[in-house]
Amino acid sequence: MLSTGTIPQSLSSIHNTFVNTVPNHSLGIPTALFAGLATTSLLFLTLRDTYSTTQVTKNISSKSTVDAKTKSQIIPSPLETQIPTLTDGEISALPYPPDIYPGGRDIPSPYGNTRAYEFGPVTGPKILLVHGISTPCIALHSLATTLATTHGCRVLLFDLFGRGYSDGVSDLPHDERLYTTQILLVLASSSLAWVGDGFHILGFSMGGGVAVDFAVAFPGMVREVVLLAPAGLIREEHFGWKGKMMRMW
């Protein structure tokens, strides 16, 4: 393709070539007019191709920038950064190996991946477990396995964003809106219908506040809310001065 810097010289050369090689009135058109029309057409096509290529390059560059920006806002979990560097023996020796529960899966979303586990009888009562602020869903291991094996429940639990084996989200506040959305993503990833007849939701510590927020937002989905040492349910007038100072920040 011709560069914009050589267009005038190239067109002049082509015009002269037409004049010298095409017999006059060979097509019933004066040679000068024929050469002029051909040269004008070439100019149009050259400018079109040059502009189109620039636009395509610009669009590709813009898309790459957006993709890179989106990816940079997701903090990869240890499943991507640490687990691949360990041997099988080292992985099995971890306090929280990725296969600690049966039915493990990674749920992709625009916010990153969520690590979830679902197990227990498919026809049993459905219960979703939400862990607290400091530990991932391994903290509910004994409770989850007992509910599934002893009481015949269908158990679903997951790691909140930025904890355990779920990716972190760096550009959004980790508030009830983010966690409510994450719960919806987890429910939608199941092969079973969790929202048809409703399900039980159990929240521990900060997970208690998350469970309450979800139940308030979607009361028709939740049959029962169980709270274990819940956090985030204290009236503001009962906060001490330290708590009030922290809320100001």
Q: What is the pLDDT of residues 180-217, one digit of tens each?
A: 999 999 999 999 999 888 999 999 999 999 999 999 99
Residues 45, 120 within the same domain: no
Residues 119, 65 within the same domain: no
Q: Examine the fold and report which residue of 16, 39, 72 is the final residue of a domain before the chain moves on.
A: 72
Name the region of 232 (left: φ>0; alpha: ψ -120 to 50; beta: rest). left
Q: Which two tokens stand for residue 107?
A: 């749920």
Residue 49 lies in a domain: yes
Residue 80 lies in a domain: no
Q: Which of the four pLDDT bands, split at 50, 70 and 90, describes residue 71? A: low
pLDDT at 58 over 90: no
Residue 104 burial (CB count, 10 A)? 15
Q: How many domains does the chain have?
A: 2
Residue 82 lies in a domain: no
pLDDT score, position 162 = 95
108 with 188: CB under 8 angstroms? no
Residues 105, 59 within the same domain: no
228 with 194: CB under 8 angstroms? no
Residues 170, 215 within the same domain: yes
Taking Cα atoms as reference points, which of 107, 113, 104 lies closest to residue 74?
A: 113
Residues 148, 206 within the same domain: yes
Residue 127 lies in a domain: yes
CATH number at residue 219: 3.40.50.1820
Helix (H) or strand (E) holding 203: strand 199-204
Residues 121, 30 within the same domain: no
Residues 23, 101 within the same domain: no
Q: Which of the four pLDDT bands, split at 50, 70 and 90, describes residue 6? A: very low
Residues 166, 234 within the same domain: yes
Residues 129, 212 within the same domain: yes
Taking the CA of residue 185 as centre, how many other CA atoms within 13 Å lie in the half-sphere pointing to its CB? 23
Q: How far apart are CA 147 and CA 169, in angstroms?
A: 31
pTM metric for this prediction: 0.68
Q: How far apart are CA 162 and CA 135, in angstroms?
A: 11
Residues 8, 94 within the same domain: no
DSSP code, position 120: S
Residue 77 lies in a domain: no
Taking Cα atoms as reference points, which of 136, 155, 150, 151 lies closest to residue 204?
A: 136
Residue 168 burial (CB count, 10 A)? 16
Residue 81 lies in a domain: no
- Report the relative pairing of strands 104-107 and 74-75 from DSSP bridges: unpaired
Residue 79 lies in a domain: no
Residues 50, 153 within the same domain: no
Residue 78 lies in a domain: no
Residues 181, 61 within the same domain: no
Q: Which domain holds residue 189?
A: 87-248
Q: Please tell me which residue, 73 or 3, carries the higher pLDDT value.
A: 73
Q: How far apart are CA 59 and CA 222, in angstroms?
A: 45
- E strands, 71-198, are 74-75, 104-107, 114-119, 126-130, 154-158, 168-169
